[in-house]
Homo-oligomer: A and B are copies of this chain.
Amino acid sequence: MSAAKTYRYYWEDFPVGHRMDFGGMPVTREAVIEFARQFDPQPFHLDDEAARGTLFGRLSASGWHTCAMAMRMMCDAYLLESASLGSPGIDQLRWLKPVFPGDTLHVHYEVIDARPMASKPQVGLVQSRWEVRNQDDEPVLTMEGWGMFRRRPAA
């Protein structure tokens, strides 16, 4: 990050209790199969017939594909305009319901903790909870994680 670069959102813009709803990503059959072919070629992510006898019932997206789609929705909603420095990890990732071709995904986002980083005074930590819901408002994925953001430079 060059010294000149400025961002819309810094650590200070993610206080505890901050909420956002965003997304509206359509899940296509082609995308489900393409992701599965590359990364998770289990039969129930590739083929309706193979999925029929499983807990999923029909072709469903890889759970990692759902995570990746959530990430894309976060990027478009706020991360690409933020002084994000990456994430150390995720906890309590739960795949609650299958994601099917034809679904449309939204994200409910909430900041659950925020603190300056003791070892790097120009960086702050933000703990967030993301809930991904389908078009029927059913939660399909929840997760919590920490993100690192640069603090807003003095004016």
On A, residues with C-beta under 8 Å from B are 1-2, 35, 38-42, 44, 50, 53-56, 62-64, 67-69, 71-72, 75, 79-80, 84-95, 145, 148
Contact = CB atoms under 8 A, between A and B. Distances in A.
Contacts of A80: 41-42
B84 A94 contact: no
| Total copies of this chain within the assembly | 2
Contact of A84 (B42, B67, B72, B89): B42
Contact of A93 (B53, B63, B68, B93): B93
A39 B69 contact: yes
A68 B63 CA distance: 10
A39 to B, nearest CB: 4
A40 B75 contact: yes
B55 A64 contact: no
Contact of A39 (B72, B85, B88, B148): B72
Contacts of A79: 42
A63 to B, nearest CB: 6
A117 to B, nearest CB: 11
28 contacts: A35-B68, A40-B71, A40-B75, A41-B80, A42-B75, A42-B79, A42-B80, A42-B84, A44-B86, A55-B85, A55-B86, A55-B148, A56-B86, A62-B68, A62-B71, A64-B64, A64-B68, A68-B68, A88-B94, A88-B95, A89-B93, A89-B95, A90-B90, A90-B93, A91-B91, A91-B92, A93-B93, A93-B145
